Amino acid sequence: ELPYRFEPEIEEAAQAIDARVTTKEIAQRRDFRGVTTFTVDPADAKDFDDALSVRKIKDGVWEVGVHIADVTHYVRPHSVIDDEAVERGTSVYLVDRTVPMLPERLSNELCSLRPHETSLCFSAVFTLNENLDILEEWFGRTVIHSDRRFTYAEAQEIIETGRGDYAEEVLTLNRLAQALRKERFRNGAISFDREEVKFRLDENGKPLGVYFKEQKESNQMIEEFMLLANRRVAEFCGKRRTESGRSAERTMVYRVHDTPSEEKLDRFRQFILRFGHIFKATKGRAVAKELNKLFKQIKGTTEENAVATMAVRSMAKAYYTTDNIGHYGLAFPYYTHFTSPIRRYPDMMVHRLLARYLAGGKPADKTELEDLCARASDREVVAAEAERASIKYKMVEFMKEHIGEEFEGHISGLTEWGVYVELDETHIEGMSFLRDIEGDFFTFDEQLYEIIGRSTGIRMTLGSPVRIRVKRADLQKRQLDFELLLPGAAARRTEEPRGKGPKVRTSSRRKGR
């Protein structure tokens, strides 16, 4: 039920937008066309909504510009395009297609910061030294001329070899970004670095293979400067200096993330205890510190994915609101979304608020903004669910070609009726019903969190290695049925009498890297 087409009147309105960048418009903006500027995006990206510029001010002092497509220059409030963007709330990125928030005329043409073209931007510009002190900051409308479009792989090669186009600029930005990243974690940010599932597709969208996109320094370079811009824009708009020198709050759209509930943390604590991990923290920033320590311990183990998934579930959900409570996961007291107006409506709201406050305007209407925030948060949930369903569908479609084949995996979940198994090479998950396991009658012991073979004494728990045969792939339900194969390296006969607690086997080898 996603709106994958735009109504003719919206397409016509987009086509009618004047694309000219006039001399008069340039004169009203800060001109960055002479400053080295480039974009870094995935190889298959079609729209480029952010660019970085960098120039040396003096030894140890740099000016870094975070330039974001000026979507609100082209899209006026309450126009048919704007109303449609409110309805959609966000672009949706399915495995084989994108359901965009804005018509292609805007997202891929007018607002895309394409190389060797003059583009209109809204920018956050920082003068900072090697100690990350922000000596000056400036926000406003700009005009840029992107010198180069890098893919993440191309930027990464420059970072690793020190050679390539604009190597000095890329290396400078990466050095500063890594320092920003280190400071962020030192201040209590949580390191949720999870691998992103990707598919190799043929021309008809059929999955030919599954792989995982690893976050490297080129990704982190872009991420850190986007986080810096989001944080500082939120603080600038949210905090207003009065004539007496005190700060007062202004109406602003925030991206907030609450502290985790102690009840959810307690459930998480009990869960990881099954793997022999002890989680001491109960509240505050100590939780973040303890989580980062745990993530380092489980890196590369068979329980890594299960523990990381449960850690995410134990956290509060981030959402949009005008009531600022800070962002716990990032450890920022002020945070917003400013950097992706092509694909997120709240970013367009933030651009308009920033323009309003730069012009000395009064605080915006809180009730209207809060309604828009609630709508955007709801649409974000719909998009996330659709994206997960799309990944699951393609995984099932991929495994449909492997019915009857055997694979190595490990147990990723247990219930009274079956076990969930995650395949080692692809992270694809399916279920094996206990009643279908041949060779024994298995029951689920909830206290020990094990399945136990009645006659063989075989025990399996989370992380236990297993071998499966693909039994069924149901595309309609997006479900995979596996047959658990016994005996083998997977299931092991326990040497201990029952009741001494679960034995968990883990492996330090990397999975599907």
From CA 134, how far away is CA 111, in angstroms rounded?
29
Q: Which residues pair with 40 in a beta bridge?
A: 150
Positions of CATH 2.40.50.140 in the chain: 403-493
Checking 424-428 for CB contacts under 8 A at 24+ apart, the result is 424/302, 424/511, 424/512, 425/511, 425/512, 426/210, 426/395, 426/398, 426/512, 427/195, 427/197, 427/210, 427/212, 427/305, 427/511, 427/512, 428/210, 428/395, 428/398, 428/399, 428/480
Residues 58-116 have pLDDT tens digits of 999 999 999 999 999 999 999 999 999 999 999 999 999 999 999 999 999 999 999 99
- 230 pLDDT exceeds 50? yes
**pLDDT grade for 246, boundaries at 50, 70 and 90:** low
Longest dimension (CA), the chain: 85
CB environment 250-288: b (16+ within 10 A), e (fewer): bbbbbbbbebbeeeebeebbebbebbeeebebeeeeebb
pTM greater than the 0.75 cutoff: yes
Residues 181-190 have pLDDT tens digits of 999 999 999 9
**Residue among 194, 151, 416 at smallest CA distance from 307:** 194
**Cα dihedral 437, 439, 440, 442 in deg (nearest 10):** -20
With H, G, I as helix, E, B as strand and everything else as coil, classify residue 148: strand
Residues 20-65 have pLDDT tens digits of 999 999 999 999 999 999 999 999 888 899 999 999 999 999 999 9
**pLDDT grade for 245, boundaries at 50, 70 and 90:** low
From CA 339, how far away is CA 232, in angstroms rounded?
12
- 487 pLDDT exceeds 90? no
- 513 pLDDT exceeds 70? no
Instruction: Give the mean model confidence (pLDDT) for residues 190-219.
Output: 87
**pLDDT grade for 461, boundaries at 50, 70 and 90:** confident
- 488 pLDDT exceeds 60? no
- The encoded tokens of residue 401 equal 């070609």
Contact 278, 271 (CB under 8 A): no
When mean pLDDT is compared over 166-170, 189-193, 417-421, the highest value belongs to 166-170
Q: Which residues pair with 118 in a beta bridge?
A: 145
Helix ranges (H only) for 299-427 are: 304-314, 345-358, 366-399
| Domain covering 403-493 in this structure, CATH number | 2.40.50.140
Residue-by-residue DSSP string for 272-321 = HHTTT------STHHHHHHHHHHHHHHTTSTTHHHHHHHHHHHSPPPEEE
From CA 230, how far away is CA 332, in angstroms rounded?
10
